[in-house]
Amino acid sequence: MNPTALLKIMNAKGKFEKNHPKFMAFLQMLFSRPMEEGTIIEVTLTRPGEEPVRANLKVLKEDLELLQDLKDIR
């Protein structure tokens, strides 16, 4: 990866962490232990002036394999 692009991403990550500390703490808690098959992940999106939209998924064995493959790439 281009060093300039990597520096830009790292700076953006730092700003995001500073602007959203509760979300970063949530992610740290989330990944503090392995994800388990059967875990439910729910996401809510609330836009200004609109009703919330929710979606969820139950983590499957194949999902865990994908997450491990993504970790291995890192």
Give yes or no: residues 66 and 43 share one domain. yes
**Is the same domain home to 41 and 74?**
yes
Q: Express each pLDDT in 46-59 by its tens digit.
A: 999 999 999 999 99
- Report helix, strand and coil shares of the chain as percent, to nearest 5: 55, 15, 30
Spatial distance between the Cα atoms of 14 and 55, rounded to a whole number of angstroms:
28
- Does pTM surpass 0.85? no
Domain limits at 48? Answer: 35-74
Residues 67 and 49 in one domain: yes
Residue 41 is predicted with a pLDDT of 94
More confident of the two residues 68 and 74: 68
Q: Residue 60: pLDDT above 90?
A: yes
> pLDDT averaged over the chain?
93
Residue with the larger pLDDT of the pair 1 and 36: 36
- 24 and 44 together in one domain: no
* Residue 74 pLDDT: 67
